[in-house]
A and B are shown apart, each in its own frame.
Chain A
Amino acid sequence: MATVTEHQTYWEKAKDSGFDLGWLNQLKENVVGQEVAEVSDNLTGRVEGSIPRPGVAQFGAYPFRTKKEVWGYNLRKLYEEFVTRQWSSATDIPWETLEELPDDIEAAECQLATFFAQVEFVAADVPGRFISTMSPDYQEVRMALLGQVMDESRHLDVFRKRALANGGGLMRMIDSVTDVVGGSTDNAREYTELSTRMHIVGEGNVLTLFRLGELMAYNEAEKAIYRRCAQDEARHVAIGVLHARYMKECSPERIEEMHSYLDEAENRQSSGAGGENPAARNMLTSEALAVLLGGGKDKADEGQKILMAVRQKQVKEYFQRLKSAGLDDRITNGRVNPSLLEAYNSA
Chain B
Amino acid sequence: MASTGQGKKRTARPAAKKSARAVRAKKDSGGQPAGDAKPPASTMDWMNDSPEWGMRAQPGKKGMTLDDIAIGSYGEIPDRSEEMTRMPRGAFHVPGVPRLEFYPLSKKVDLWADNAAGLYEEAIQRRWMAHVDVPWGTLEPLPRDLELSMCQLCTELAQQATIETDSIGQWIGRMNYAYYEVKTFLASELYDSARHYDVFRTRALANGGALGMESPGMINRRIIESRAGWTETAVFMYLLRGPFTLMLYRYGEAYALNAAEKRLFRLCIQDKARHLAYGMAHAKYAISEMGDDYAVGMLRMMSGVERDMATEMKDPVLWEALAIIFGGGLENISSGMEVVEELQKRYVNEYMARMQWVGIDKTLDNLAPDLAAYVKQESGAAS
Which residues of A are at the interface with B, using a C-beta cutoff of 8 A? 1-2, 6-7, 10-11, 13-14, 17-21, 23-24, 26-28, 30-32, 44-53, 56-57, 59-60, 79-80, 83-84, 86, 88-91, 93, 95-96, 103-104, 107-108, 110-111, 114, 117-119, 121-122, 124-126, 128-132, 136, 139, 142-143, 146-147, 149-150, 152-154, 156-157, 160-161, 164-180, 186, 272-273, 275, 281-284, 287-288, 291, 297, 300
Contact = CB atoms under 8 A, between A and B. Distances in A.
B301 interface: no
Contacts of B323: 19
Given A18-B382, A80-B131, A128-B172, A170 B51 contact: yes
14 contacts: A23-B320, A27-B209, A27-B210, A60-B166, A95-B64, A111-B47, A118-B91, A125-B172, A126-B173, A146-B194, A156-B184, A157-B120, A157-B180, A273-B36
Contact of B211 (A49, A130, A143): A49
B88 A118 contact: yes
A98 B167 CA distance: 40
Contact of A282 (B35, B216, B320): B35
Given A45-B224, A79-B198, A173-B94, 18 more contacts: A18-B383, A20-B320, A24-B148, A27-B213, A46-B214, A46-B215, A49-B201, A52-B214, A80-B131, A90-B59, A147-B191, A165-B56, A167-B55, A175-B94, A176-B33, A176-B35, A180-B37, A272-B35
Given A27-B210, A132-B165, A186 B190 contact: no
Contact of A146 (B88, B96, B193, B209): B193
Contacts of B187: 121, 124, 128, 149-150, 152-153
Nearest to A290: B42
A47 B36 contact: no
A175 B330 contact: no
Contacts of B198: 79, 143
B130 A83 contact: yes
Interface in B310-366: 316-317, 320-321, 323, 329-331, 333-334
Interface residues of B, number: 115
- Sorted nearest first, the 5 A-B pairs with minimum C-beta distance are A132-B169, A90-B63, A153-B187, A46-B214, A150-B191
Contacts of B37: 180
Contacts of A178: 100
Interface in B105-157: 120-121, 124-125, 127, 129-132, 143-145, 148-149, 151-152, 155
Given A32-B211, A175-B34, A90 B121 contact: yes
B229 interface: no
Given A50-B213, A96-B59, A150-B190, A287 B86 contact: no
Contact of A23 (B57, B177, B212): B212
Interface string B184-208: 1001101101110110010001000
A121 B86 contact: yes
Nearest to B48: A107
B225 interface: yes
A169 to B, nearest CB: 4
A332 B17 CA distance: 51
Contact of A171 (B49, B151, B158, B320): B49
B217 A44 contact: yes
Contact of B47 (A14, A104, A143, A170): A104
Given A44-B214, A50-B159, A170-B50, A297 B44 contact: yes
Given A104-B47, A171-B91, A177-B36, A23 B333 contact: no
Interface stretch (B65-73, B245-253, B265-273, B279-287): B65-73
Nearest to A158: B64
Contact of B63 (A7, A88, A126, A146): A88
B77 to A, nearest CB: 14
B380 to A, nearest CB: 13
A266 to B, nearest CB: 17
B64 A132 contact: no
Interface in B36-95: 36-37, 39-40, 42, 44, 46-47, 49-57, 59, 62-66, 68-69, 71, 74, 85-88, 90-94
